[in-house]
Structure 1
Amino acid sequence: MDIIYFRDYCLSKSGTTEDTPFDKDTLCFRVGGKIFAITDMLHFESINLKCDPDIAIELREKYSGIQPGFHMNKKHWNTVSCDGSVSDSLILKLADDSYDLIFYSLPKKVQEDLNNK
């Protein structure tokens, strides 16, 4: 997988926006103004994704390419390697899960508005 594929995948999700709030190379994907994925655009080596804390621990134990979130809350975020140690299909599933965690934490009215765009 490359950054273009991952970017297109994230932007295909309802209400997703992108920005670079930290520096010109760090790309954030948001839903309802809240970040669900962060990656480096120039060196697409890993992605920070939000994760249920219990599942995050299981994933870290099972996959060497999944570590506690770099520069993030280690309980709720994982850094997922894009070096092949984690399959593309699992990376996309984890991106889906991250999006869902954020989306379903939003107020119902915001969820409805995003679904109607």
Structure 2
Amino acid sequence: MLYSSCFPNVPADETALRALGFLPQKDGSFLLEKPSEKPGFSITYRIEGSSCRVDVTDTESGWEYDLFNVPSSGGATVLFLRAEAENFLVRVGEECFGVRPNRAEVLRYCKETYGTEADYPFQDSNAQVVRKPSGKWYGLLMTIPAEKLGLSRSTEVDVINLKATPERIVNPDYRYIFPAWHMNRKYWISVLLDSNIPTELLQTLIDESYGLVK
């Protein structure tokens, strides 16, 4: 199964990839085969640029486990293997591509709740978008200078731009919710993804944005 654009369009940290067991290949990709947590299976990960090809093998027969690649397949074994692979890809993103943990949690919530696979719409940028089935964005994740939010920090911060209700737009708290940066402030807000934001609030804001985008 190909996980297209699952990583930022930036060079991977090769030292970190090697630390996870990936080996460089002649074609420029990085390959890792490891036993699955599910007895009787192994999982192969091949990273090429911002994408990763994941294949599962039945170790007893030596054959590829084809059901893993069938999107409509929902058996317990398939779901377990997909969850294992996707959780590992989140780890690779964090450790080798600089995807920060809070951003990973947002992406995991969007995937589990709405079936959304984020993509990277901008070349040489770690900005990601999550889309509705129509293709319209309901969230834009970015790493920006903290000063863009009016914060007195010299660091960069992760934010997600979300569509919001008029009440939230006119009453930003400037702690978690800010006027949108890079998007129309009449309809969007920027939410600071730091460790202090309550999970329930963040998920509520994501849900509201999903519902508001038509």
TM-score where L is the length of structure 1? 0.72
Letter in 2 for 1:83: D
Q: How many residues align?
A: 100
| Alpha-carbon distance between aligned partners in 2 of 1:11 and 1:44, rounded to the nearest angstrom | 22
Alignment of 1:61-100 (within 5 A): 62-100=173-211
Name the SS for the 1:72 alignment partner: coil
Rg larger for: 2
Aligned partner of 2:164 in structure 1 is 51
| Alpha-carbon distance between aligned partners in 1 of 2:197 and 2:174, rounded to the nearest angstrom | 7
Letter in 2 for 1:89: E
Shift in Å, 1:45: 1.8
Aligned partner of 1:110 in structure 2 is none
Letter in 1 for 2:206: A
Name the SS for the 1:12 alignment partner: helix
* Structure 2 unpaired stretches of 5+: 1-100, 144-155
Identity of aligned residues (%): 31
Runs of 4+ in structure 1 deviating by more than 4 angstroms, as ranges, are: none
Letter in 1 for 2:184: N
Name the SS for the 2:113 alignment partner: coil
Higher relative contact order (CA 8 A, sep 6+): 1
RMSD of Structure 2 on Structure 1 (CA): 2.2
Structure 1 residues 68-88: Cα deviation after superposition (integer angstroms, max 9, x where no partner): 111000011100112245322
Aligned partner of 1:29 in structure 2 is 130
| Alpha-carbon distance between aligned partners in 2 of 1:45 and 1:27, rounded to the nearest angstrom | 11
Distance 1:28 1:94, change over 3 A: same
| Alpha-carbon distance between aligned partners in 1 of 2:136 and 2:202, rounded to the nearest angstrom | 19
Shift in Å, 1:15: 5.3
Name the SS for the 1:5 alignment partner: helix
Distance 1:90 1:63, change over 3 A: farther
Distance 1:77 1:89, change over 3 A: same
